[in-house]
């Protein structure tokens, strides 16, 4: 018999594939789901990408979700995250942009 969980951001999990114990709890929180993988931030701050089939559900805690608009490395500060999101949106729209040491210019 096979059991499939409908994974969601905020699920508290453990993983059968993690080599070392992560934090005292051994738990992490799903921050993003990408096809058959999830980006997990463990209670000790470490982050990893795990296959959904390797995860063990341990509950749900919405307060452990770091950002609803997470698109990159969670350890980055908020401003670069917002800049990256803006740059990605412009790149997807097809508008040209120039990256310089002082920032980003459009057009």
pLDDT for residue 74: 47
pLDDT digits (tens, 9 = 90+) for 38-67: 998 888 888 889 999 999 998 998 888 886
Distance from C-alpha of 28 to C-alpha of 87, rounded to nearest angstrom: 29
Q: What is the largest CA-CA distance in the chain?
A: 57
- Domains of the chain, CATH where assigned: 1-66 (2.30.30.30), 76-107 (no CATH)
Count of residues for the chain? 107
Six-digit token string for 71: 């698109």
Q: Are 9 and 31 in contact (CB under 8 A)?
A: yes
pLDDT digits (tens, 9 = 90+) for 2-19: 566 789 999 999 988 876
pLDDT for residue 55: 93
Q: Residue 103, by phi and psi: left (phi above 0), alpha (psi -120 to 50) or beta?
A: left
């Amino acid at each position: 018999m096979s059991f499939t969980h409908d994974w969601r951001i905020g699920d508290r999990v453990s993983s059968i594939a993690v080599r070392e114990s992560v934090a005292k709890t051994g738990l992490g929180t799903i921050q993003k789901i990408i096809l058959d993988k999830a980006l997990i931030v463990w209670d000790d701050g470490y982050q990893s990408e795990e296959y959904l089939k390797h995860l063990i559900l341990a509950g749900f805690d919405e307060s452990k979700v770091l950002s609803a608009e997470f698109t990159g490395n969670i350890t980055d500060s908020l401003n670069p995250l917002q800049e990256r999101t803006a740059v990605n949106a412009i790149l997807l729209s097809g508008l040209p942009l120039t990256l310089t040491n002082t920032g980003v210019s459009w057009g």
